[in-house]
Amino acid sequence: MEQKRYLLPESEIPTHWYNIVAELKNKPLPPLNPQTKKPLSPEDLYPIFAKAVSQQELDSTHAWIEIPEKVREMYRNYRSTPLVRAYGLEKALGTPAHIYFKNESVSPVGSHKLNSAIAQAYYCKQEGITNITTETGAGQWGAALSYAAKAFDLELAVYMVKVSYHQKPYRRSIMQTYGAQVIASPSMSTKAGRKILTEHPNYQGSLGTAISEAVELAMSTPNCKYTLGSVLNHVTLHQTVIGQEAEKQMALAGEYPDIVIACFGGGSNFGGISFPFMRHNISGEKNTRFIAAEPSSCPKLTRGVFQYDFGDEAGYTPLLPMFTLGHNFAPANIHAGGLRYHGAGVIVSQLLKDKMMEGVDIPQLEAFDAAKIFAESEGIIPAPESSHAIAATIREALKCKETGEEKVILFCLSGHGLIDMTAYEQYLAGDLMNYSLSDEEIEKNVSELEKIIK
């Protein structure tokens, strides 16, 4: 019988994170201070973020950054995660492609988010911080950070996007079980929240709004820092443990991917699995394709513009050069809450611009169809977010079926969907729909952006 699962001994858990920026010929444009329009320095970020991650955020020289021993110790609770050959899915599709997935859903909180949560909580503790804030969409980041905050003895306040707060009550209970305080966003507890609620009393929230609230609380509370679970460079940096492990595990399987696929919210699981492999494209040794799968209802990669924009709705964050739908974009209430963000991270935006990666958009129903095939053939119920990666994988595997090519496809299973059964219930009842977005709707938000890139 052929081997199905590949694991690494604890001694092989990565000792460093991989900072792809150091090796890019075309460096991303710098984030700008919104007042002065000057490039940011790490010191500009200190009022909001821990110092160590502020430095990592703007580091364009060190390709390898050492993982602190205490962080590696906590990684040992669940890493390495398995690399699995998806024989069941291959059979169900009748494809000659070899499909592998890196199973990040086995982390204690059920997603890849813990890889960065542990690092961020650790650095805050190191720097004498007592309180941290964050936002969460589907609740995966909030759950991960709640556990990490407890492990490092920090108080945590989480602003949870209102639609998810109601759609996903169990995620809220998980955060509370770990001891975090959870607030539905927009809330009346911040200026940003009050402003939006006054203008739109029924607004169901967005990640952009929740970020504004969490940043505001961090800036107005002593000894308190803000943390973010996606989009930013340092978050993606921490996620590169995924791809580094996957590369070793693929070698155990005697293969190397022709295509690497991940779902795309802000880009952290995509960058995490891709960048260690992309390194070999940069050096010219390999020619792997990298595909980011985003929802059709929030298509920043496939239909957004490359532009300086704010990371949040209220405009508190630095200006980031990114593919964006505009920071006022309010995505439809799809179930993949973690993918409902208006912009793409700075590094992936540059990579997309330089055609070192591709974006595809997946309609909601295709994502759930893919999830069902995967659940039936591999036994794991995927997160609605991860289902976008599965759908993109199935598209590529079916192309191989037509051409007879035995391509090697690797995708990231970023999380499981066991706390998303309300979404599955609606899908099975035929109550889910696709959302289409007109060019006018996109143009409307994008046209409001200040044109800093001429």
Ligand X SMILES: *Cc1c(COP(=O)(O)O)cnc(C)c1O
Q: Looking up tokens 């505001």, which residue turns up?
A: 216
Distance of CA 314 to the CA centre of its chain: 21
Total residues at interface with ligand X (CB under 6 A) = 21
Indicate whether 116 belongs to the interface with ligand X (CB under 6 A). Answer: no
Selected from 264, 277, 310, 329, the binder of ligand X by CB under 6 A is: 264
CB of 113 to ligand X, least distance (A): 5
Indicate whether 294 belongs to the interface with ligand X (CB under 6 A). Answer: no
Name which of 98 and 416 has its Cβ closer to ligand X.
416
Encode 105-144 in three state secondary structure: HHCCCCECCHHHHHHHHHHHHHCCCCEEEEEECCCHHHHH
Indicate whether 263 belongs to the interface with ligand X (CB under 6 A). Answer: yes
Return the beta strands (E) in 277-433 as ranges.
289-295, 305-310, 319-324, 358-362, 408-413
CB of 322 to ligand X, least distance (A): 13
Name which of 31 and 265 has its Cβ closer to ligand X.
265
Phi, psi of 50 (to 5 degrees): -60, 150
- Name 308's bridge partners: 321
SS3 content of the chain, % helix, strand, coil (to 5): 45, 20, 40
| Of 51-59, 136-144, 304-312, 323-331: span binding ligand X (CB under 6 A) | 136-144
Selected from 53, 211, 298, 383, the binder of ligand X by CB under 6 A is: 383
Amino acid occupying residue 318: P
Indicate whether 113 belongs to the interface with ligand X (CB under 6 A). Answer: yes
Interacting residues with ligand X between 270 and 289 (CB under 6 A): 270
Selected from 55, 167, 206, 414, the binder of ligand X by CB under 6 A is: 414
CB of 211 to ligand X, least distance (A): 13
Indicate whether 267 belongs to the interface with ligand X (CB under 6 A). Answer: yes
| Of 176-184, 264-272, 357-365, 423-431: span binding ligand X (CB under 6 A) | 264-272
Indicate whether 349 belongs to the interface with ligand X (CB under 6 A). Answer: no
Indicate whether 136 belongs to the interface with ligand X (CB under 6 A). Answer: no
Chain length of the chain: 454
Return the beta strands (E) in 381-421 as ranges.
408-413
Residues 6 or more apart whose CB falls under 8 angstroms from that of 421 comprise: 381
| Of 49-57, 93-101, 312-320, 378-386: span binding ligand X (CB under 6 A) | 378-386
CB environment 128-153: b (16+ within 10 A), e (fewer): ebebbbbbbbbbbbbbbbbbbbbbbe
Q: Which residues bind ligand X (CB under 6 A)?
A: 111, 113, 138, 140-141, 230, 263-270, 338-339, 383, 385-386, 414-415
